Amino acid sequence: MRSLLTPQQKSAMAAHRKQRQDNARIRAAARLERLRLNLNLSDDQVARLKTGREDFRGKARAIHENDNLLPREKRAQMEVLMASRRDNLKSILTPEQLNKFQQMGHHRFGGPWQGHGTYSGRTT
């Protein structure tokens, strides 16, 4: 498809992509700041969460871009990766913070808290 685009269109696409990436970084920082405030996180916890998020994104991207895997294999690897992220979150937060995090029904830090207690009034 890129071969069909004019240089101006390619440039516009690149600028749009960069803007999306910048906006995503800003939203991620804002989410992390809200977590810091709502859960009263220490600077060390914030740093560990940020590192964990970056690690997760890199591994998820590698799974997504691996053309040698079948879709079901990618899905299985992503499930393992998400479980690892949940375990990492448990190791970073105190039990009180984790409980509050779960009560927040926090969607943006890894989706619904699947398989761990209640979520939106339902047990999983």
What is the dihedral sign for C-alpha 97, 103, 108, 109? positive
pTM recorded for the entire structure: 0.69
pLDDT at residue 59, rounded to an integer: 97
Residue 106: pLDDT band with limits 50, 70, 90: low
pLDDT at residue 73, rounded to an integer: 96
Say which DSSP state 93 is in. S
**Single-letter residue type at 27:** R
* Alpha helices (H) along the chain: 7-39, 43-65, 71-92, 95-103
pLDDT, tens digit, 9 for 90 and up, residues 55-92: 999 999 999 999 999 999 999 999 999 999 999 999 99
